[in-house]
């Protein structure tokens, strides 16, 4: 809903074009039709998350994307569309169905932060605080994802640290029981890891583009800074003081990229390890089957050849052939069991 403050928010579907007209009166320019269209989008509008910031002459137009729910691995993003000038700002929020963000409280707090009070540029302060909220929520989301990954991989158990490089993991030293236990647990935990992996590309895209926007602001990019206000006076939209605050947010955003890269690497390492573990278990199963077949081969041959129904071996006229055949079966079986156990096939 519109109000009479320098910052107007649309938080519901009650989006009055009159608020856009008021912004145009303050800035002395007309909003581009594309800007008006996005600002008046439904509160439940869905779009691919891709932050942007554009200079439209006397105002800046852009979008930021904030995690809709930082504790839900299947959540998406809320979108904030905004237009800012020196003395006015207008923003509209489109929430995802999974959203738990309290946008009424966030909107009420933006523009009232004491440490920015010395700067008289409403639009510059608004964007600074909005980007601060965005990066803070992204960092919280990434931290929760990292904790989830650590918990899920630790639940695989059996003393294997999946945070290490896959080449350093003790795959060969694991017993068949350990492998089967991990594979059974992975079948339960795998969908959660897959959901996080599915979220990574959009998270990385949002963080990368947000970092690019911040870099342009910090580096005083003339293409997105408005040097004169509506009265024609020389006044930057982003003062040097605001740029210093923006620089701090930018560093947090760059660190966030490293955190997300680490999360993605952990998931890849875990999945690769589990694939190798599954392959190793298949090899072990084949070895076990081969060992059993080998152990049964000679006894079966002896039984099939002589039938085990004689008192002596008629071809050799050897008495006690029945006892000898059983002795051969037992000795050969024990020898093969000993051999295959040494080879760890059994």
Q: Of 15-29, 95-109, 122-136, where does mean pLDDT reach its minimum?
A: 15-29
**pLDDT recorded at residue 3:** 45
What is the pTM assigned to this prediction?
Answer: 0.76
**pLDDT recorded at residue 4:** 42
pLDDT value at 230 more than 60: yes
Q: How far apart are the C-alpha atoms of 66 and 133, rounded to whole Å?
A: 8
Q: How far apart are the C-alpha atoms of 198 and 114, rounded to whole Å?
A: 39
**pLDDT recorded at residue 1:** 42
Q: Are 277 and 182 in contact (CB under 8 A)?
A: yes
pLDDT (tens digit, 9 = 90+) per residue, 106-153? Answer: 998 887 776 665 666 888 889 999 999 999 999 999 998 888 888 777
Residue 307, sorted as left (phi over 0), alpha (psi -120 to 50) or beta, turns out to be left
Instruction: Label residue 145 exposed, middle or buried (CB < 10 Å: 0-12, 13-18, 19+).
Output: buried
Distances (CA, A) of 119 to 82, 112, 116, 125: 20, 11, 6, 7
Q: Are 184 and 177 in contact (CB under 8 A)?
A: no
Domain ranges of the chain: 7-281, 285-342
């Amino acid at each position: 809903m519109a109000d009479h403050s320098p910052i107007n928010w649309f938080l519901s579907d009650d989006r009055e074009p009159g608020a856009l007209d008021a912004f145009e009166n303050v800035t002395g320019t007309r909003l581009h039709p594309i800007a008006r269209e996005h600002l008046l989008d439904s509160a439940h509008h869905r779009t691919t998350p891709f932050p942007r910031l554009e200079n439209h002459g006397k105002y800046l137009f852009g979008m930021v994307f904030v995690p809709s729910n930082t504790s839900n691995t299947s959540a998406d993003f809320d979108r904030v569309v905004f237009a800012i000038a020196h003395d006015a700002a207008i923003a509209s929020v489109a929430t995802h169905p999974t959203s738990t963000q309290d946008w009424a409280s966030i909107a009420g707090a933006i523009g009232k932060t004491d440490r920015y009070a010395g700067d008289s540029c409403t639009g510059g302060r608004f964007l600074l605080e909005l980007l601060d909220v965005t990066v803070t929520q992204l960092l919280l989301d990434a931290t929760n994802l990292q904790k989830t990954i650590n918990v899920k991989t630790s639940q695989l158990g059996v003393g294997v640290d999946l945070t290490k490089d896959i080449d350093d993991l003790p795959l060969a030293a694991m017993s068949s029981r350990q492998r089967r236990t991990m594979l059974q647990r992975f079948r339960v935990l795998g969908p959660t890891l897959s959901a996080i992996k599915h979220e990574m590309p959009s998270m990385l895209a949002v963080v990368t583009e947000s970092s690019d926007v911040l870099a342009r602001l910090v580096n005083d990019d003339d293409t997105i800074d408005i040097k004169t206000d509506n009265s024609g006076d020389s006044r930057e939209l982003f003062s040097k003081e605001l740029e210093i605050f923006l620089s701090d947010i930018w560093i947090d955003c760059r660190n966030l990229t490293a955190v997300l890269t680490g999360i993605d690497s952990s998931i890849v390492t875990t999945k690769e390890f589990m694939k190798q573990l599954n392959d190793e278990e298949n090899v072990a199963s084949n070895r076990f089957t081969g060992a059993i077949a080998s152990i049964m081969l000679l006894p079966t041959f002896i039984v099939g050849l002589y039938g085990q129904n004689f008192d002596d071996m008629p071809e050799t006229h050897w008495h006690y052939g029945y006892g000898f055949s059983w002795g051969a079966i037992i000795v050969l079986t024990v020898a093969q069991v000993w051999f295959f156990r040494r080879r760890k096939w059994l």
